[in-house]
Structure 1
Amino acid sequence: MKLLVTENYETLSQITADIVLMKWAESRRVNLALTAGSSPKRAYEILADRLKQVDFDQSLAHFYNFDEITLKDQEYGLTMQALTEELFLPLGIEEENIEVLDSKNYQAYDQKIAADGGLDFVLMGIGSDGHFCGNLPEFTSFDYGVYRVPMAPEDELYKMIDESSPHTPGEEMVTFGPQTVLAAKELVLIANGEKKAGIIKQALEGPITEDVPASVLRLHPNLTVILDRAAASQLS
C-alpha cells in the first residue's frame, strides 16, 4: 500500500485528477470505475480543465459505475444520475463509452468486465461505516463478486436514500463486491476531513474484517490511499 498525505483537500484533488488523467491518457482501451460523491468533486473539476490542455484519444476510456441504487420511475439509478452530473457531462463522455451496471445486468457483469479486458483502475471513497462501493458492513462478504442487496422501507439504507434524494428509492442496490474490486489492476482510495479520521485508522491499521469492509483493500498489491492531513490525523 502506498499512502500519500496531502496538506489539504485542494492538493488531494490535484493529485487525484492527475492520476486519473495519466490512466486515461494511455494509448489503449482503459477501463475505469470512478466514484461519485463529495470527495472527488473538486478532482473532477480539475480534470475537466486538464482535458482542455492535452491532446489524446479520449474515446479509448470506458467508464463503469461500480454500484447502483434503483429509483422508482427513473430511467437511471442514484449513482448514474450523480455520475452524469458530476463527471460524464462536464468531461464530455460519450454514451457509447459508459458501461452501465444496473439491476437488470448485474448477474453477468463480472463476465462482461472480464470480456472487456478487466478493470484497469478503480477510484473509491470510504463511508463513515467503512463501506466502499456498495459494500456495507451488514451485507458484505469478502467472497462476493458483483451482487444485489434488497431494500425495503424499514431498512436504514432505504431511509437514508429516501431522506437524501428527491426520488423514491427502488427495491435494490447492486454493487461491485470485494472480489470484483480486488481483481482490478490499480486501486485508489481517497478521503478528506476530520470526520473520516476514525474510520481511516480502522481501515488502514485495524484488523482486516468484514465489519470494516474497506480494510480488505489492503490485500491489493497496487493500492494507493490519498488523504488530507485531517483524514490522516489519527494514523500512527
Structure 2
Amino acid sequence: MARITTIAFDADDTLWQNEQFFRLTEQRFADLVAPYTDAPDLNGRLIEAVTRNLSFYGFGMKGFALSMVETALEVTDHKVPGTVIAEVLAAGRELLSYPIETLPHVDQALGRLQETHRLILVTKGDVFDQERKVAASGLAGYFAAIEIVSNKDHDTYRRVFDRHADGPERTVMVGNSVRSDILPALEAGAYAVYVPHDLTWSYEHAEEPVAQPRYARIEHLGELEAALTSFEKIN
C-alpha cells in the first residue's frame, strides 16, 4: 500500500461545536409551540420532519428552520399564531449568530499535521452557513482545499480525494459521524478515524466497523497522530 499523504477533516462537531446550538434551538421551538398543542414529544416530531426533508432541503440551518415551521403547523392543525411562526423563524436565524468554538486539541493537531501531510476540509450543509463557520473559525489557513458538499457518500469521497489528494488509498478521513464520515470513506477505499462527540445527531449514528483494519477510534484530535502511525504500520 502507498503511504498516507492527505488527511481530510469533517467540520461540524469535529473541529468546532455545532450540534449544541441546534439542541438549544429545538428547545426554543418546543417552548414556543407547546402552548398551542397537546402533541407529545415536540422535539421528536421536529427531528422527524428534519430527517424527512433532507432530500428536499439538504443539511443545515435553512432546512432546519423550514422544518420547524412545518412541524409547528402540523402539530397545531395550522392554528399556531403568525407571531409564533415569526419567533420560530427568528430562532432559526439565530443559528447564524452563535460563536464558533473550536474543540480541544484542534489548533495544535492541525498545526503539527500540516507540516507532514496535506490537509483538506470536507463538510456538508448549506454553502453560505458553512463558509461563514469556516471563516469565523480561523482554521481555513490550515487547509489546502475546502469542499462543501450536499451529501457524503462513497462517490463524493472518491471524487474529492481524486481531486485534492492522491486518491482514497492515500487519504484518511476524520470525523464524528460513523454514518457520513467513516463508512462511506472506507467504502471509497480510504482510511477513517472516528472522533465521537457527545451530541452527535441520531441520524448520523451507525455501527462502528471495528473489524476494519483501516479504521480507528480516538477520543480527541490530540490522539490522531498515534492513529496515523498505526495505519502506517499496515502499509
Q: Same fold (TM over 0.5)?
A: no
TM-score by length of 1: 0.38
Q: Which has the higher strand share?
A: 1
Higher alpha-carbon Rg:
2
More helix by share: 2
